[in-house]
Copies of this chain bind each other. A is one copy, B any other.
Amino acid sequence: MKIQNITIKDIAKALDLSYSTVSRALKGSYKISEPVRNKVIAYANEHNYRPNLLAQSLKNKNSRCIGVVLCNIPNSFFAEVISGIESVAYTKNYLVIITQSHESYEREIQALENLTWRSIDGLLISLSTETSDCSHIAALHAKGLPVVFFDRVSEDFKTHLVKADNEGGAYDLTNHLLHQGYRRIAQITSPAHLSITQERIAGYKKALSEAGQPIDESLIKYCEHGGMLFEEIETAVSELFDSGNPPDAIFAASDRLTLGTLSILKKMGKSIPGDIGMAGFSNFSEPELFEPALTTIKQPAFEMGKTAAELLIQLIESKRPVTEFEKKVFPTELKARASTNRKISVAY
């Protein structure tokens, strides 16, 4: 037995009206007389009428669904983003379909196919680490699908972008490290083709240059899978230490890389912040509980999700084609904690 709601036809029959009249009365069309409208609405409420969304979608050619593609849900940053998306979708009566790319280009394409098949009205996407070419997304966009990029964005085609101020965040963090007296600052980061990587490196280099510090490319370690493979982080860290000239601080450029690096440093028995300073981008909920309490750059993930969803729905519901696109850049927040505080353990 399936859950069967009352339909327009039932109301029409009960009230001896035509389908169209009932439909119009419920939609609040003005070409319906007061008494009839009231009668219909009263009956509908009383019998708990709910329009069948499937039928509406089929008829209207919209699904009131928005698709989301991101690398993986349990990642603190993305989980918060989802929560933000959901909060907007909920109030605007959209449904959210979340799919995970697991940092794979292949799976990102699959996810997109799946979503379009499901007839979504719009797409929110953060690229996988493997994705350097966006033609699969551009094709959908060209066919008229509203798209908003968030976090890992692309400028392959014009659309709204929602991102953190990665350059600013990296700049702030690098500056903080410099102020603490660190000089050989390494960055462990995602693949070079990603927007977030480029920006985080730009901010890092800017801070170094302004401080008159040399830029040593060998201190920048790219993890091709964004840290999905623990070994790639281990390799990065050991390369840094095995070089003749090891770093005195490490800046990790994402949540996964930050936790991975911290864990490896501790396993190596490094004293933080004494032997080496450690900080990173992270939306982990309680970094102050770590040993040592971790200096982080935090992105306003919930807000970013909210804004991305708002922009997308705006795009979906816009009557006229949108040609002016926004680039929303959210400030990041530096929280200095013990992991970069040399004064704790080093006299200098």
Interface residues of A (CB under 8 A from B): 1-3, 50, 52-55, 57-58, 61-63, 72-74, 76, 79-80, 82-83, 86, 90, 95-100, 114, 116-119, 140, 143-145, 259, 262-263, 266, 285-286, 288-293
Q: List 5 A-B contacts (CB under 8 A).
A: A3-B144, A54-B119, A86-B98, A263-B289, A291-B292
Q: Which 6 A-B pairs have the closest CB atoms?
A: A291-B291, A1-B144, A74-B79, A79-B79, A54-B58, A3-B143
| Alpha-carbon distance between A266 and B286 when the two chains are bound, in angstroms | 12
Interface of A is mostly: mixed
Min C-beta distance of A81 to chain B, whole Å? 9
Told that A83-B100, A263-B289 touch, could you supply 17 new A-B pairs with CB distance under 8 A?
A2-B144, A3-B116, A52-B119, A53-B119, A54-B63, A54-B119, A58-B58, A72-B83, A73-B83, A74-B76, A74-B285, A76-B76, A82-B98, A259-B289, A263-B288, A289-B290, A291-B291
Which B residues are CB-close (under 8 A) to A144? 1-3
| Alpha-carbon distance between A72 and B86 when the two chains are bound, in angstroms | 11
Which B residues are CB-close (under 8 A) to A289? 259, 262-263, 266, 290-291
- Across the interface, name the chain B residue whose C-beta is closest to A116: B3
B143 contacts A1, C-beta separation under 8 Å: yes
B95 contacts A118, C-beta separation under 8 Å: yes
| Alpha-carbon distance between A114 and B50 when the two chains are bound, in angstroms | 10
| Alpha-carbon distance between A143 and B98 when the two chains are bound, in angstroms | 28
| Alpha-carbon distance between A59 and B267 when the two chains are bound, in angstroms | 59
Which B residues are CB-close (under 8 A) to A79? 73-74, 79
A140 contacts B3, C-beta separation under 8 Å: yes
| Alpha-carbon distance between A117 and B5 when the two chains are bound, in angstroms | 9
| Alpha-carbon distance between A2 and B285 when the two chains are bound, in angstroms | 41
| Alpha-carbon distance between A54 and B59 when the two chains are bound, in angstroms | 10
- Across the interface, name the chain B residue whose C-beta is closest to A285: B259
Which B residues are CB-close (under 8 A) to A285? 74, 259
| Alpha-carbon distance between A161 and B144 when the two chains are bound, in angstroms | 44
Contact of A291 among B2, B72, B82, B293 (CB under 8 A): B293
| Alpha-carbon distance between A61 and B117 when the two chains are bound, in angstroms | 18
- Across the interface, name the chain B residue whose C-beta is closest to A120: B3
Given A74-B83, A80-B74, A291-B289, A96:B95 Cβ within 8 A: no
Which B residues are CB-close (under 8 A) to A2? 61-62, 144
| Alpha-carbon distance between A23 and B309 when the two chains are bound, in angstroms | 37
- Across the interface, name the chain B residue whose C-beta is closest to A139: B3
